[in-house]
A and B are shown apart, each in its own frame.
Chain A
Amino acid sequence: MGLRGAVHSLTRPTGKARLSGPTPVDQNGLAIAPADAAGHDHLWWLDRMVRSDQQLVERMALIFHDWFATLGPKVANQRLMLDQSNLFRGNCFGSFLTLFTRVTVNPAMLITLDGQKNRRGRPNENYAREMMELFSLGARRGYTEGDVRQMARALTGWTNRYSDQLGVYDFHFEPKLHDFGRKVVFGKAGKWGWRDAPRLCVQNPKHPSFFVKKLWSYFVSRPPKKATRQRLERIYRKSGWKIRPVVEAILLSPEFYEDDPMVKPPAVYLASMLRARRRGIDTTAWVRLCERAGQRLFNPPDVAGWDDSHWLDTARMQARWEMTNAVIRPAVAALARPYPPTETTGVAVEKAIASWNNPDLEQGELDEMADFAERTAALANQPGEYSNFRRLRQAGLQQLVGVSSGMVMM
């Protein structure tokens, strides 16, 4: 298939994603209710990350959830959050302008940044500011305070209805609420409206570099060299702000393969563990564990998204340990009793690594695991030993592999 073919198989999926494997349930075996039950929205996405045959689509959806961070608790409507995440799936390889435009009037985003309260004569600047600062240009790059205010006027007119039964519904553009006057944004005058707002941002000369650097940062730990960045900016501009060509160029660049490994975000870490062990979603425990590890999906810390440089501290590492423990628990319980009495150290380590679908471990980690296997074997030879140490040794080894670089890093 070659590298290019491999990349294209990820970036050019056809048709709907196929989900294979057991459907998601809670610990009582009941189907999850993503739009209604607290936390089940998180499980729903985790399940897609585990079972979808379009893996990069799920990764891109997570990237854009982080990019256009929308706050679940403020939206207070899981259906709207799920819809937004499907918006990311459906538009993750097409035109960034299309995606940006849809996000601008997406109900969950309208609620998060008060867009549905922004009306003629009574502007609310919340979205206008963040669409430039966080979504398209970067802080203090290519816009002024005046632009924020003019942009807020351009975005006026979106509203929704509310009923006790339905909650918020019927998000729509209401001409009466729109300011049809002339606005000057980035020095360009016109009777700008909500369709113009994202276009003006994307056409701002500061946008391509922001886009390229931000997208790159999700895949490669070090920022792109100037020449690389400029090449990607050219690809982006020439394509008419398409996302796919830039993603493909990143995935085909030597840096993607040669640069330092990155710490997987907690949800990605958990999904990769469940995939490796072919385990579906079968407990709601993942919601709290992901939260403790620092990433509750649909609830980023703020509108700037998650901080990808600080996934590990002692509280979060503790949560990853517990995740690993919970992931291996059924397999550990199912280890044969009595356990094969002849399993050697080397076989034990190999088997533990195979239980995680053979990730690449550092030599030092392999050595330590072999040492652990030897030490526990020595314990079993002491008087008063319990008979089944090999079984417990295997459980311990699987735990260690789960918190090793092979699983934590990508």
Chain B
Amino acid sequence: MSGPFRKACGCGEFTRSQMLHAAAAEAGKGLPQIESGMPEPAGTGLTRRSLLLRGAGLALAVYGTKLALPALDQGIAAAPAPDRVLVSVFLDGGLDVMSLLAPTGDPRYRKLRPNLALKASETLPFSEDQRLRWHPAAANLAQLHREGKVTVFPAMGYSGPDQSHFTSRHFYEIGEVKVGAGTGWLGRYLDVTGTPDNPMQGLSLEKALSPTLATATNPVAALSSVGGYELSSPAGEPVKAELFNSFERMGALPAASAGLRQLRDATTQTAQLRRELPALETTGDGGYPGSPMAARLRLLTEYLDLGLPIRVASLTGSGGYDTHAGQAPTLKGNIQSTSDAIFAFQRDLERRGIADRVLIHVWSEFGRRPAENGSAGTDHGAAGIGLVIGSRASGKMAGEFPGLDRLDRLGNLRHTSDFRGLYCGLLEQWFDQDPEPIVPGASAFKRPQVVW
């Protein structure tokens, strides 16, 4: 790390122009036209992107940095718009892959699912395996698949499957079958290839940071508010300005404990964010359905189109997938909503001519038990779904559907591809990144063809 950066973390002498130098140098763009020692003229260094960032009305919760927001603003402005973006979509609760891609052609399907089995006649064909048929609510995913834009992993998992939501999800998030790592697999990717001043490189499109994006050294962000960020004041000007000055200065006070540190940091960031307000104006529905997931994906498209330096983004799919009871109607609605949101996103990217830059990865912590339970639902299972979606997706199924005649000793679907192999494939083929420092034991996993 260069001198100015160390200084930035330690004291307040750091100036905006130094940061601009350093950030631009980091980003490989050469130094901007500011001589050292020059006072910073108004507007200097505010490139188009930094103005647009304000224009985007972005309020970010920034994680993993001590840099102040103006410095991060400069870092964001200086970072180039990446030509490869990965969007991680988590289906929370364990999606029933046997409903999304129903094995209606498997003789055991109806025996295992006397109440829940879908009829072949109501489902949609899946060209890569005659046994499987798309859920009718996934018609839009089926359409993208026909266009060669969906790489399907019909039985994604790992050896020794854990059936705890929290544990199995943790494995997928950290890219390792072990408990307790502090960084997500995409967070480690950003630690290896990202910059120390661009929190937008890893963007959770939700209020909380996705553990998948958790980094050790470089900053990442979550969307804390869309449409402005304000604090009410009990006093008018000019006392009001002094009130917010004091609030911000309270954030800079020392903290003798981790808890107090949290308060100080939240205070600093809250006070600083207050100064960065306006909202992104969008009109019409833009072809998106009216779900929170679709709204988030629409925002992401806007941000990508503006050239904001987002490298990986994450969000949660519509609804919950822990369908222990009354599965059919809940699942239908949630599959529909998720599938439609992804479809609208893909089409929007295509319209804007940026679809070649974006790949979506859809995952869930596990699949569900092939045998339905007594509540017209399904309990936790093993192998689950993996989808890679986008104009650059290979569109070739990876791993096969293992069939229902040889389940594991607990009666669960066996996996035919390992999620860590998919991660390695994404890193190598999409990001041109050696997975070795990111996915432990990377060399052991078979790489599927993820993109073309």
Chain B residue numbers with a CB within 8 Å of A398 are 234
Task: Tell me if B270 is interfacial: C-beta within 8 Å of chain A.
Answer: yes
For B257, what are the chain A residues with a Cβ–Cβ distance below 8 Å? 221, 260-261
Check if A313 sits within 8 Å of B208, measured CB to CB: yes
Closest Cβ neighbor of B248 among chain A residues: A368
> In chain A, what residue has the closest Cβ to B59?
A314
Which residues 288-323 in A have Cβ within 8 Å of B in the complex? 304, 310-318, 321-322
A38 within 8 A of B: no
**B239 and A392 contacting across the interface, CB-CB below 8 Å:** yes
B91 to chain A minimum Cβ distance, whole angstroms, is 14
Q: Which residue on B lies nearest to A134, using beta carbons?
A: B166
In the complex, are the beta carbons of B373 and A125 less than 8 A apart? Answer: yes
Contacts of B254 in A (CB 8 A): 364
Chain B residues in 8 Å Cβ range of A329: 234
Beta-carbon contact of A393 and B263 below 8 Å:
no
- Contact check, A121 vs B247: say whether CB atoms are below 8 A apart: no
* B263 pairs with A123, CB closer than 8 A: no
Contact of A317 among B270, B374, B410 (CB under 8 A): B270
Interface residue A396 (Cβ < 8 Å from any Cβ of B): yes
Q: Is the CB of A263 closer than 8 A to any CB of chain B?
A: yes
Complex interface bits, B135-173 against A, C-beta within 8 A gives 1, otherwise 0: 000000000000000000000000000111011000000
Report the minimum CB–CB distance from A408 to chain B (whole Å): 5
- A129 B374 Cβ-Cβ under 8 A: no
A-B contact count (CB 8 A): 184
B45 CB to nearest chain A CB (Å): 24
Q: Is the CB of A117 within 8 A of B263?
A: no
Per the bound structure, the CA–CA distance linking A121 and B379 in Å amounts to 14
Q: How far is the CB of B141 from chain A (nearest CB, A)?
A: 26
Q: B243: which of A260, A312, A399 is its contact (CB, 8 Å)? A: A399
- Contacts A364-B254, A365-B250, A395-B235 given; indicate if A117 touches B375 (C-beta within 8 A): yes
Question: B269 and A400: CB pair below 8 A?
Answer: no
Contact between chains at B239 and A312 (CB < 8 Å): no
Interchain CA distance A243-B232 in the complex, whole Å: 43
Let me know if A400 and B208 touch, CB within 8 A.
no
The stretch of A199-207, A211-219, A244-252, A369-377 that contacts the partner chain: A369-377
Taken together as a complex, chains A and B put the C-alpha atoms of A404 and B61 apart, in Å, by 20
A121 touches B374 (CB 8 A): yes
Q: Which residues of chain A are within 8 angstroms of B380 by Cβ–Cβ distance? A: 125, 129
Contacts of A274 in B (CB 8 A): none
Contact residues of A: prevailing secondary structure: helix
Asked whether, in the complex, the Cβ of A317 is within 8 Å of the Cβ of B269, the reply is yes
CA of A371 to CA of B375 in the docked complex: distance in angstroms? 64
A370 vs B98: C-alpha distance when bound (angstroms):
65
Cβ contacts under 8 Å, B240 to chain A: 396
A148 touches B374 (CB 8 A): no
B374 cross-chain contacts in A, Cβ below 8 A: 117-119, 121-124
Taking a contact as CB atoms under 8 Å apart, the answer to whether A312 and B247 are in contact is: no
Docked pose: A395 CA to B233 CA in angstroms:
9
A33 CB-CB contact with B under 8 Å: no
Binds A, one of B16-24, B223-231, B306-314: B223-231
Question: A114: which B residues are within 8 A, CB to CB?
Answer: 324-325, 375, 377
Smallest CB–CB gap between A294 and chain B, Å?
A: 9
CA distance A129 to B322 in the complex (A): 13
Task: Please report which residues of chain A, range 1-27, place their CB below 8 angstroms from some CB of chain B when the two chains form the complex.
Answer: none
Q: Which of B39-78 contact A (CB under 8 A)?
A: 59-62
Looking at the complex, which one of B232, B234, B373 makes contact with A124 (CB distance below 8 Å)? Answer: B373
Q: How far is the CA of A148 from the CA of B412 in the complex (A)?
A: 14
* B405 on the A face (CB < 8 A): no
Contact indicator A312/B263 (Cβ below 8 Å): yes
* A124→B246 CA distance, assembly (Å): 56
Q: Which of B222, B232, B236, B373 contacts A313 (CB 8 A)?
A: B222
A221-B259 in contact given A139-B166, A313-B222, A372-B242 (Cβ < 8 Å)? yes
Instruction: For B263, list chain A residues within 8 Å (CB).
Output: 263, 312, 405, 408-409
| CB pair A140 B325 closer than 8 Å | no
Find out whether the CB atom of A315 lies under 8 angstroms from the CB atom of B225.
Answer: yes
User: Given B59, B166, B229, B258, which contacts A221 in the complex, CB threshold below 8 Å?
Assistant: B258
Q: Is A82 an interface residue (CB 8 A)?
A: no
Of A113, A124, A314, A399, which one neighbours B273 at CB under 8 angstroms? Answer: A314
Within 8 A of B (CB), among A321-343: 321-322, 325, 328-329, 332
Q: Are A310 and B260 in contact (CB under 8 A)?
A: no
Residues of B within 8 A of A404 (CB): 250
Chain B positions near chain A (C-beta within 8 angstroms):
59-62, 162-164, 166-167, 179, 207-208, 222, 224-225, 229, 231-236, 238-240, 242-243, 245-247, 249-250, 253-254, 256-260, 262-263, 265-267, 269-270, 273, 322, 324-325, 373-375, 377, 379-380, 410
**Seed contacts A117-B324, A322-B232; 6 additional CB < 8 Å A-B pairs:** A119-B374, A129-B163, A139-B166, A313-B207, A318-B270, A368-B250
* 23 sample A-B contacts, Cβ–Cβ < 8 Å, listed by A number: A117-B374, A124-B324, A125-B373, A148-B163, A260-B256, A261-B260, A312-B262, A313-B208, A317-B266, A318-B270, A318-B273, A321-B232, A362-B260, A364-B253, A368-B249, A375-B245, A375-B246, A392-B236, A393-B239, A396-B234, A399-B233, A400-B246, A409-B259
A: residues with CB less than 8 A from B are 113-114, 117-119, 121-126, 129, 133, 139-140, 145, 148, 221, 260-263, 304, 310-318, 321-322, 325, 328-329, 332, 362, 364-365, 368-369, 371-372, 375-376, 379, 389, 392-393, 395-396, 398-400, 403-405, 408-409
